[in-house]
Amino acid sequence: MPRVITITSGKGGVGKTSISLNLALELASANQRVCLFDADLGLANINILTGIQPENDLESVIDGSLELSEIVIKNYQGIDIIPGSSGVERMADLTQEEAKRLIRSFLGLGEYDYFIFDTSAGISSQVLSFCMASHEILLVITPEPTSLTDAYSLLKVLSRKGYNRTVNVVVNQVTQSSSAKKAYGQLRETVNRFLSIKLSPLGIVARDKHVPMAVIAQTPFLKLFPDSPGSRCIQLLGRKLLAREKNMEPISLEQFWHRCLGFLSKGRPAAGAKRKHHEVTRPKTTEAVAGQKPDITVMLQRIETKISMLMDEMKQIRKIVAHQENQTEDTPAPPGEVELDFEAWFSKNRG
């Protein structure tokens, strides 16, 4: 039975997809059979990081026009990738026959050691369902206050839904160990005070100048810069996951999907039910406004978002290059250099 891990975050832009992809590759390098499910229904960021442009996604499987094996991207640098995109959103409204078809398709994929779900950020019904049904949750945060508050909001909702397993935490974009300690400590203290969920520190990922370069190259930084600080952090995270005993309830992939779809159906609003005033409503699509299909509008919005992200990455690279030009090879490392062993300092400061 595969080990099912959902990698999520309360806030977007914390590097969740980058960690998901590179961690999957690290596990595969240890001879693990890994399948990465791109469950981000908004941007499909794995496409951006890899340069992959799948022709079909999960929606084709739900519609019955294709089998899951026909849309899987096989053996991308040692892992398989399932493009989710619009199909993830459709999962909340499956008929009984569509749900059976989807489960059969997943069971026909073959055997994996790890099934990793890279979710959207936030607390959508899809994100919550993947979290509730998984063996493990890996929560990605950064030292920024908004990341911590949004992470707490996600944990609060999971706690109310009865989630009772330990959540692993990874602090990303770390420049100094003190900032990682402070961020995790603040989140843990608040969670311990108000929620029943338990947190466990899995590790950190250092802020690394090579990461935005890898994004521009559309190649995972673990493969492009295997000896960089970020890659060494990912390698350590992978070793920790492999070394941990699987003291969790056994669950088959079939059981996982029944659970996941069951949680989705529970969260589905009743027919004709009105939205609450605080719920986010979607803007009208081109189809709703002018009787046209919304595909072009959606595609343009995604392209604009991708271009904006790439421009931000280019700005970061320019700053890095300018900084490097002012440095010499003999420049000493800055004080408070990032410690790669997150659990070591945590045990020292326990209590």
Mean per-residue pLDDT of the chain: 80
**Residue range(s) defining the domain that contains residue 188:** 3-267+340-348
Which residues, in sequence order, are bridge partners of residue 200?
168
Say if 282 falls within a structural domain: no
Say if 281 falls within a structural domain: no
For residues 140-166, average pLDDT: 93
Q: Which residue has the higher pLDDT, 26 or 309?
A: 26
Q: Are residues 207 and 165 in the same domain?
A: yes
Q: Are residues 113 and 240 in the same domain?
A: yes
Say if 276 falls within a structural domain: no
Q: Which residue has the tokens 């010499």?
A: 328
Cβ-contact 149, 161 below 8 angstroms:
no
Report the C-alpha gap between 281 and 274 in whole angstroms.
11
Q: Are residues 232 and 311 in the same domain?
A: no
pLDDT of residue 319: 57
Q: How far apart are the first and last CA of the chain?
A: 37
Q: Are residues 170 and 295 in the same domain?
A: no
Q: Are residues 173 and 292 in the same domain?
A: no
Q: Are residues 123 and 260 in the same domain?
A: yes
Say if 130 falls within a structural domain: yes
Q: Are residues 304 and 229 in the same domain?
A: no
Q: Are residues 313 and 262 in the same domain?
A: no
pLDDT of residue 128: 92
How many separate domains does the chain show?
2
Q: Are residues 242 and 309 in the same domain?
A: no
Q: What share of the chain is helix, strand, coil (3-state, %, to 5)?
A: 50, 15, 35
Q: Are residues 154 and 216 in the same domain?
A: yes
Q: Are residues 164 and 216 in the same domain?
A: yes
Say if 240 falls within a structural domain: yes
pLDDT tens-digit map of 220-276: 999 999 999 999 999 999 999 998 765 666 678 888 888 898 888 776 554 444 444
Q: Which of 111-115, 263-267, 328-332 has the lowest mean pLDDT?
A: 328-332
Say if 183 falls within a structural domain: yes
Q: Are residues 18 and 43 in the same domain?
A: yes
